[in-house]
Amino acid sequence: MTALRDLVVPRRESVSVNGSFGDWSPITVHLDGEISVRDRSVPYKGAMFAVYPGDIVFSKIDARSGAIGMLPTSIPKAVVTPEFPVFVADPGKLDSGFVQRVLRTGGFLKDLRSKATGTSGRKRISPEAFLDLRVPLPDLAEQQAIVAAYDAALVEAAGKEKAAAAAEAKAMADFGAALGFAPPVSLPDRPVFVASFKDLDRWSHDGVLRAVLKLADPVPTFPVSPLGSVGKVSYGLQKYPGNRPSLHARPYLRVANVQRNRLDLTVIKTINVPDEEMHRYRLEDGDVLLCEGNSAELVGRGAIWRSEIADCIHQNHVLRVRLDQTKVNPEFVLSVINSSYGQTYFRAKAKQTTNLASINSKEVAAFPLPLPPLNDQQSMIKALDSGRAESTTLRAEAAATRAKAWAEFEASVYAADDPIETTDVADTEAELVRAR
């Protein structure tokens, strides 16, 4: 274990600018160690200092929470205030990849927190305290070997994730082929074009351009019926001050809870709904939930409700499709919506204003749904689920590979008899990947 003052030196290169940052980038250090460019054009008042790729930089006030990292090569010239001390590692003693990872280990972050001084809530890490910290120091060749082993594991994990994406894409392609879908006709890159006002159905770039170019997507093999013919589309409860949680507080789903093909029920909020109104909004098993929009990627994003929470309702920005399950399988309907065929329809029908996009219940009900016999629907979903299961397994293997690599990295640099506090392996490894 060697003190950082023997391995790094402060960088105190002043930066002067005139009215703008010029080719300098103002940066911030996030709690996961990632460093990004600030959205700021006006130079700081007071002193400013330079940071270059490979420099170590931390936030005095947030370092104890993990705001310490190494400037990436994607930011060639950065500038910080005195609240962000900068240090240069001795390349003859520290490998850059090694020190970048050591800064994220549980043992180092624990020691860093212990150096914070000041009043509660405003504790800071001083440059002097940082230099007093000690890190494990294998010789340079061993550092590079440890990093190479870790990076090799990340490459293996990335390969598994690539295979997972391919398996999922193939499963969806096979599903589309079973329905008789061909890939949708691609749109040319025309950010600006002319259309007659009388031809505009929706304020949708995709929809209008398809109409102008007279592009017709392939027709499914099976008979097509409007989604509204096999299910009722309805809005949820609008939130306003009068229905704040009180005597009849009920759990409700927001757009954030409805992810693509899954529900995120980590945070569930409540809203007041009297007993006599619950029949209008209560979710039932098999309801298909679709996001109304707000942004292009949210339009039509959907999941299936499987009675995870009793007496749960949905917000008005989440559309509910209650299906006749004697005619259609909910998983089948959602999979068709998520297919390239379905997404082309939702993009074309979405109303767009500036950066916002949304679709209404009428357009959702009009969605042209291919309707194979129910047994065929179930067979198609079984095959699709098989491909998705393969993808899920590969992603789980990738996560396990990364977690194991991180555990082995920490074990490689800390002696067995040196007590350290390790952070959660999966969380720490995820932070490292984001930072890289």
Q: pLDDT tens digit string along 97-156?
A: 999 999 999 889 999 999 999 876 688 999 999 999 999 999 999 999 999 999 999 999
CB-count burial class (<10 Å; 0-12, 13-18, 19+) for 46: exposed
How many domains does one find in the chain?
Answer: 2
Domain-terminating residue out of 71, 103, 136: 136
Query: Does residue 297 sit within a domain?
Result: yes
Query: Does residue 435 sit within a domain?
Result: no
Whether 365 and 237 share a structural domain = yes
Query: Does residue 171 sit within a domain?
Result: no
Domain-terminating residue out of 102, 136, 170: 136
Q: Using 50, 70 and 90 to split pLDDT, how confident is the model at 420?
A: very low
Whether 119 and 253 share a structural domain = no
Whether 13 and 127 share a structural domain = yes
Position with higher pLDDT, 344 vs 165: 165
Query: Does residue 211 sit within a domain?
Result: no
Query: Does residue 217 sit within a domain?
Result: no
Whether 248 and 349 share a structural domain = yes
Say whether pLDDT at 421 is over 60: no
Domain-terminating residue out of 78, 113, 136: 136
Query: Does residue 57 sit within a domain?
Result: yes
The pLDDT assigned to 265 comes to 95
Query: Does residue 393 sit within a domain?
Result: no
| Tokens standing for residue 334 | 């959602």
What gap in Å lies between CA 152 and CA 148, rounded to an integer? 6
| Tokens standing for residue 210 | 């398809």
Whether 121 and 230 share a structural domain = no
pTM of the complete model:
0.72
Query: Does residue 429 sit within a domain?
Result: no
Are 181 and 342 a contacting pair, CB within 8 Å?
A: no
In sign, the C-alpha dihedral spanning 308, 313, 315, 321 is: positive
Whether 128 and 229 share a structural domain = no
- Residue span of the structural domain in which 23 resides: 2-136
Q: Using 50, 70 and 90 to split pLDDT, how confident is the model at 428?
A: very low
Domain holding 237: CATH number? 3.90.220.20
